Amino acid sequence: MGSVQLRDIRKSYGPVEVLHGIDLDVADGEFVVLVGPSGCGKSTLLRSLAGLETISGGEISIDGSSIVHLHPKSRDIAMVFQNYALYPHMNVAKNMGFPLKMAKVNQETIDKKVAQAAEILGLAPMLERFPKQLSGGQRQRVAMGRAIVRDPKVFLFDEPLSNLDAALRVQMRAEIKQLHQRLGTTIVYVTHDQIEAMTMADKIVVMKDGHVEQIGAPLDLYDRPANKFVAGFIGSPAMNFLPAVVENGQAVLADGNRLTPAPVGLTNGQTFTAGVRPEHIMITDQGAAGTVTVVEPTGAEIQFIVDLAGTPTLVSTRDRMQLTQGDQVHLAIEPGRLIAFDAETGARLGSA
Ligand code: ADP
Ligand code: MG
């Protein structure tokens, strides 16, 4: 078992509080990803869980028992770092077996556990190699192997793929997901990359400035963001935001163009920020008029930046549309796809 409970976690460095009361439940076997911009407190939270930072307040439990007083070594948690932290003078087998050796496990058991982990990670033919004889992805696997041999209740990963090139990142993220499916161990994984979070997580925790903004399954966050921050952070290309007002039940833009019915629960005359994802905008014969300013073919789709009532608005389509800069177009929004946010606070308003 390896369920984790965080209650009102606070962390200050001197007078500065950087975690402002974090609550989080991680179920046994769950893959939870903490995501948010650099500096929002992800690593601090992870390191607090591992016992590498002393929290200023709150309670951390594993399977219902407090671990706050426990030394990192006694927490039954294994952490994988971004920089791998391998010992250059030790071969792969010794690097992987090192935590067991420190724990005075007998050599026969170490060899067995290392062989098992190497098998799982595809490192069996490389046990005699030294870190400098390995690729970045292989080094990352050794670092994971060193965590696996400990058979911990919880794995922690802090941006493990940041040092890898783009293609390898995509490959390793699938490998880590498969590894989780095979081992079934609880994972708490930190990244600033929302695509990594979306593709890997059972549950995403979006953080900002030491607060949790929203917790949910990837597509829940994508389809039902709680606020403008989450809406803008999750999804690439990002959601469009347009200033709007409700008139006769319609969402109306600054230039008087009507977009679509306003979400239920808004009142006539109310100003708000309209959020629309690029793939939910259709280029049609009627609808709000705008001017194409940029055409970006990505291959699978074409992205158009359209000036809509003074706001550059990204439209993405799989149609091979022959449009060029300066063309006049009309945009319509798929029914029910407009999300309203409070123009001041960014909180979500009404419902679709
Ligand atoms: P993230 O991992 O999300 O990028 P961190 O958890 O590393 O963010 O940092 C959160 C905040 O805490 C940042 O403002 C950072 O400057 C601050 N911080 C982190 N470590 C220390 C430290 N040892 N002393 C003082 N401030 C720190
Ligand atoms: Mg960090």
- In angstroms, what is the span from residue 216 Cα to ligand 1's centroid? 24
**pLDDT reported for residue 352:** 59
CA atoms of 81 and 52, how far apart (whole Å): 13
- The count of residues in the chain is 352
Last residue of a domain, one of 233, 253, 271: 233
Among 146, 145, 135, 142, which residue's Cα sits nearest to residue 168? 135
| Shared-domain flag, residues 200 and 323 | no
H or E, element range at 137: helix 136-148
- In angstroms, what is the span from residue 69 Cα to ligand 1's centroid? 22
**pLDDT reported for residue 162:** 86
Model pLDDT for residues 301-315, shown as the tens digit of each residue: 999 999 999 999 999
| Shared-domain flag, residues 209 and 245 | no
286 pLDDT band, cuts 50/70/90, is confident
277 pLDDT band, cuts 50/70/90, is very high
| Shared-domain flag, residues 227 and 270 | no
Q: Looking at ligand 1, which atom is closest to the CA of residue 38?
A: 4
CA atoms of 58 and 10, how far apart (whole Å): 6
| Shared-domain flag, residues 218 and 323 | no
> Which residue has the least CA distance to atom 24 on ligand 1?
13
83 pLDDT band, cuts 50/70/90, is confident
CA atoms of 261 and 9, how far apart (whole Å): 42
Ordered DSSP codes for 119-188: HHHT-GGGTT--GGGS-HHHHHHHHHHHHHTT--SEEEEESTTTTS-HHHHHHHHHHHHHHHHHH--EEE
**pLDDT reported for residue 301:** 95
Residue 32: which CATH number? 3.40.50.300
Tokens of 95: 């690097």
H or E, element range at 288: strand 288-297
- In angstroms, what is the span from residue 19 Cα to ligand 1's centroid? 9
- In angstroms, what is the span from residue 82 Cα to ligand 1's centroid? 16
Tokens 């073919």 locate to: 297
| Shared-domain flag, residues 210 and 324 | no
**pLDDT reported for residue 85:** 84
Tokens of 139: 């080094």
Pocket test for ligand 1, best of 9, 18, 33 (most atoms within 8 A of CB): 18
- In angstroms, what is the span from residue 13 Cα to ligand 1's centroid? 9
| Shared-domain flag, residues 200 and 297 | no
Residue 245 and residue 252 in contact, taking contact as beta carbons nearer than 8 Å: yes
> Which residue has the least CA distance to atom 2 on ligand 1?
43
| Shared-domain flag, residues 229 and 244 | no
| Shared-domain flag, residues 102 and 210 | yes
Average pLDDT over residues 320-333: 95
Model pLDDT for residues 173-220, shown as the tens digit of each residue: 998 999 999 989 999 999 999 999 999 999 999 999 999 999 999 999
Range of the domain at 327: 240-349
Q: How many domains does the chain have?
A: 2
> Would the pLDDT of 261 be above 70?
yes
CA atoms of 324 and 327, how far apart (whole Å): 6
Calculate the alpha carbon distances from 62 to 133, 145, 179, 184, 202 in Å.
38, 23, 22, 16, 19
| Shared-domain flag, residues 67 and 135 | yes
Q: Is 258 left (phi over 0), alpha (psi -120 to 50) or beta?
A: beta
Last residue of a domain, one of 199, 233, 267: 233
Task: Give the closest ligand to the alpha carbon of residue 209.
Answer: 1
Model pLDDT for residues 109-154, shown as the tens digit of each residue: 999 999 999 998 889 999 999 999 998 889 989 999 999 999 999 9
Tell me the sheet residues that pair with 65.
62
Last residue of a domain, one of 173, 207, 233: 233
What is the number of other CB atoms lying within 10 angstroms of the CB of residue 116? 15
User: Could you give the percent of the chain with pLDDT greater than 70?
Assistant: 100
| Shared-domain flag, residues 280 and 226 | no
| Shared-domain flag, residues 189 and 245 | no
Average pLDDT over the chain, rounded to an integer = 94
Task: Give the closest ligand to the alpha carbon of residue 205.
Answer: 1
Q: Which amino acids bring their CB within 6 angstroms of ligand 1? A: 13, 18, 36, 38-44
Residue 290: which CATH number? 2.40.50.140
| Shared-domain flag, residues 207 and 323 | no
